[in-house]
Amino acid sequence: MTNGLAPARAHLQKVFGFGDFRPGQGEIVEAVLQGRDVLAVMPTGSGKSLCYQLPALLRPGLTVVVSPLVALMRDQVGQLRGYGVAASSLNSSNDAAENRAVIDSIRDGSLRLLYVAPERLTKDGTLGLLRAAGIALLAIDEAHCVSQWGHDFRPEYLALGQVRESLGGVQTIALTATADRATRADIEKKLFAAPPQVFISSFDRPNLKLTMQPKSGGRRQLLDFVAAHRGDSGIIYCSSRKRTESWAGILQGAGVNALPYHAGLDSAIRHANQDAFLKQDGVVMVATVAFGMGIDKPDVRFVCHADMPGNVEAYYQEIGRAGRDGLPADTLTLYGLDDMRLRRVQIEEGQASDERKRIERQKLNALIALCEAPRCRRQTLLAYFGETAPRCGNCDLCLAGAAVFDATVEAQKIMSAILRTGERFGTEHLIAVLTGALTDAIQRHGHDALPTFGVGKDRSPNEWRSLIRQLYAAGMIALEMDHGRWTVTDQGRPVLRGAERLELRNDLLKPSGGRKAKRSSGGTATQNLNVADAALLDALKALRRELAGKLGQPTYVVFPDRTLLEMVAFKPRTPAALRELYGIGETKLQRYGAAFLEILAGA
């Protein structure tokens, strides 16, 4: 980063109370300030919003932010106003007077950030208003929604490229947490007239503990996990509306403050439950994937998948809703054969094209490989996004290991089959080669004459499927997602030659297998306090709830948990000392400093 970022860094401290940029933020802010179009792929919790919010405060003109959800707009506007920033939204939940006030602030130039849904933005009246006002920057959040290759395609996003042109080709920044190569190419094509500057941050979220377990008495596994996080905010994802309500009832019966959320609920109940989750401490939301996009609650301490998610991108996006404040957070994914079958049925019976279905199958296989990984889960997860990483020490496989066996011979058989068939075939054809199945394709290609034909008759097709997935997770073989064909990697060749041995997981080869669930180690920053500090934290939280209640905002709009924990740790006695803590800018110090210092004075 250059010295040209000094004013931005000063503003970062003054307005937002942050001492410095998070990794990746500074370079993106600098590019935006230099007038470049930008596509930024940054993990959830890495501070994407700041990449357009800070430039909006450093340059004249209006920044328009396209956001897919009213709840997200409301949340972002509330937080920005908490920092003393002039921000508003135009949306259907506003009454006529509110929208008139927003329009007036656009016309008189007093507004710095305007949040708007894509449907509202495409209206002629809105476009005319914005053209007249003059826009400095168009920020498109959740930009993967523009792509049919993304995991959350939304047709209304398709018009945004045309909107950009109708606004005079305004400078644009598109942001997303997850986008593979195909999705990134699609975003560039549909949103930009010329290639933007692309920033791809590391996908690593080291504060998240990653755990995956085969289902073995799923009720006990989930209840034990939630019990280890009593009093924490969390999200539990389920595969159906029925299971959402069932699990919410089970957790309520166990004394957990759990609420259901799915698209089939009455809208008033759904919104009330979402508000409770956002505004209260210790609420557990039991939800379908209808819940979560744009949820900006920083103190979610755990995410659990009661059922296997749809693909790696969805898994990554959903666990990314935990620990956005940078503090430790826990994740658990439970999976079973029924989940795998359900996901395959959903793909096959869906209305997508054959090409789309084929890619979805490959993505599902990649998720199953992650579930059955023989090594550090974070290494496997990051490898999916094209990153390499050392062992993390913060996943179940690093912390507890798994039952393994010497699978060198099995790996050699698989890689030999891949190479002898020209690295041109997918899983089922390779299994047919290994097990000696005389399919039409085997005979047509003459693969029944290969030396590897039938060398794997001692194992079932399901065992070979698991072994292939594990080899993929171990980095020995690679899957070309576009064509579904397997290739042998440089990492796999020493094993193929016999120069290295390879151990894979034995516990995953039999469907009935699976390790017993272990109770989560738990232990968050809030649970490890001594009695006096815990009492002080409770008092600070009570004050925060009172202030937030008066504002009608979530508690973290006043201060996030991380700020309160720093108050407990450092016990500042003066405004200057309080100003040094995370997330306390000038406006928040003036609004809330005296009240919190009064409580801290008695500690």
Q: Convert 332-349 into a string of H (helix), E (strand) and C (coil).
A: EEEECHHHHHHHHHHHHH
Q: How many CB atoms are closer than 10 A to CB 538? A: 12
For residues 322 and 184, membership in a common domain is answered with no
Confidence of residue 518 (pLDDT cuts 50, 70, 90): very low
Instruction: Give which of 395, 398, 380 is closest to 479, Cα–Cα.
Output: 380
Task: Report whether pLDDT(515) > 50.
Answer: no
Lowest mean pLDDT among 140-144, 201-205, 515-519: 515-519
**HSE-up of 163 (CA within 13 Å, CB side)?**
29
**What local confidence, expressed as pLDDT, does residue 385 receive?**
85
> Are 80 and 58 in contact, with CB atoms under 8 Å apart?
no
Beta bridge partners of 186: none
Confidence of residue 396 (pLDDT cuts 50, 70, 90): very high
pTM above 0.95, yes or no: no
Lowest mean pLDDT among 30-34, 361-365, 389-393: 361-365
In a domain, 515, yes or no: no
Mean pLDDT (the chain) is 89
Kindly tell me the sign of the dihedral angle through the C-alpha atoms of 70, 74, 79, 80: positive
| Integer Cα distance of 320 and 314 in angstroms | 10
For residues 195 and 215, membership in a common domain is answered with no
Task: Report whether pLDDT(516) > 70.
Answer: no
For residues 391 and 413, membership in a common domain is answered with no
In a domain, 517, yes or no: no
In a domain, 144, yes or no: yes
Kindly tell me the sign of the dihedral angle through the C-alpha atoms of 393, 397, 402, 405: negative
pLDDT digits (tens, 9 = 90+) for 520-573: 444 455 567 888 999 999 999 999 999 999 988 888 999 999 999 999 999 999
Q: What angle do CA 249, 251, 254 make, to 5 degrees?
A: 115
CA 330 from chain center: how many Å?
Answer: 14
| Integer Cα distance of 337 and 328 in angstroms | 31
Give burial (CB, 10 Å; 0-12/13-18/19+) of 350.
Answer: exposed
Task: Report whether pLDDT(185) > 80.
Answer: yes
| Integer Cα distance of 586 and 34 in angstroms | 27
Task: Report whether pLDDT(1) > 50.
Answer: no
| Integer Cα distance of 492 and 484 in angstroms | 18
Provide CB contacts within 8 A for 386, sequence distance 6+. none
> Are 147 and 186 in contact, with CB atoms under 8 Å apart?
yes
The listed range with the strongest mean pLDDT (1-15, 281-295, 366-380, 469-483) is 366-380
For residues 396 and 409, membership in a common domain is answered with no
**What local confidence, expressed as pLDDT, does residue 287 receive?**
95
What is the domain range of residue 475? 405-505
In a domain, 291, yes or no: yes
**What local confidence, expressed as pLDDT, does residue 519 receive?**
40
In a domain, 514, yes or no: no
| Integer Cα distance of 303 and 209 in angstroms | 10
For residues 119 and 196, membership in a common domain is answered with yes
More confident residue, 509 or 455: 455
Q: How many CB atoms are closer than 10 A to CB 458? A: 9
* Alpha helices, H only, 385-530: 396-400, 408-420, 427-435, 440-445, 461-473, 493-497
CA distances (Å), origin 452, targets 421, 431, 456, 465: 10, 11, 8, 17
Q: How many CB atoms are closer than 10 A to CB 10? A: 11
| Integer Cα distance of 230 and 522 in angstroms | 10
Domain stops at, among 165, 200, 235 = 200
In a domain, 347, yes or no: yes
**What local confidence, expressed as pLDDT, does residue 45 receive?**
75
Task: Report whether pLDDT(137) > 90.
Answer: yes
Count of helix runs (H) and strand runs (E) in the chain: 27, 18
Q: Looking at the chain, how many residues does it have? A: 603
**What local confidence, expressed as pLDDT, does residue 242 receive?**
94
For residues 46 and 117, membership in a common domain is answered with yes
Confidence of residue 402 (pLDDT cuts 50, 70, 90): confident
In a domain, 143, yes or no: yes
pLDDT above 90 coverage of the chain, percent: 58
> Are 504 and 468 in contact, with CB atoms under 8 Å apart?
no
For residues 226 and 299, membership in a common domain is answered with yes
For residues 378 and 332, membership in a common domain is answered with yes
| Integer Cα distance of 603 and 599 in angstroms | 7
CATH number of 474's domain: 1.10.10.10
When computed from its CA atoms, the radius of gyration of the chain, rounded to whole angstroms, is: 26
Task: Report whether pLDDT(148) > 80.
Answer: no
For residues 298 and 281, membership in a common domain is answered with yes
Lowest mean pLDDT among 199-203, 246-250, 284-288, 334-338: 334-338
Task: Report whether pLDDT(373) > 90.
Answer: no
Confidence of residue 482 (pLDDT cuts 50, 70, 90): low
Task: Report whether pLDDT(579) > 50.
Answer: yes
CATH number of 586's domain: 1.10.150.80
Beta strands in 132-185 (DSSP E): 135-140, 172-176
| Integer Cα distance of 297 and 327 in angstroms | 13
Mean pLDDT of 13-42: 93
> Are 203 and 382 in contact, with CB atoms under 8 Å apart?
yes
For residues 117 and 27, membership in a common domain is answered with yes
Task: Report whether pLDDT(486) > 90.
Answer: yes
In a domain, 383, yes or no: yes
Domain stops at, among 176, 200, 224 = 200
CATH number of 252's domain: 3.40.50.300
For residues 565 and 472, membership in a common domain is answered with no
Tell me the one-letter amino acid at 440: D
CA 571 from chain center: how many Å?
Answer: 33
For residues 228 and 179, membership in a common domain is answered with no
The listed range with the strongest mean pLDDT (143-157, 213-227, 413-427) is 413-427
Residue found by looking up tokens 């201060």 in the block: 559
Beta bridge partners of 41: 176, 200
Instruction: Give which of 54, 360, 50 is closest to 201, Cα–Cα.
Output: 50
Domain stops at, among 441, 470, 505 = 505
pLDDT digits (tens, 9 = 90+) for 212-248: 988 876 689 999 999 999 989 999 999 999 999 999 9
Number of domains in the chain: 4
Classify the phi-psi angles of 35: left when phi > 0, otherwise alpha if psi is within -120 to 50, otherwise beta: left
pLDDT digits (tens, 9 = 90+) for 50-97: 999 999 999 999 999 998 877 778 888 989 999 999 999 988 778 888
Q: What angle do CA 364, 147, 40 make, to 5 degrees?
A: 100
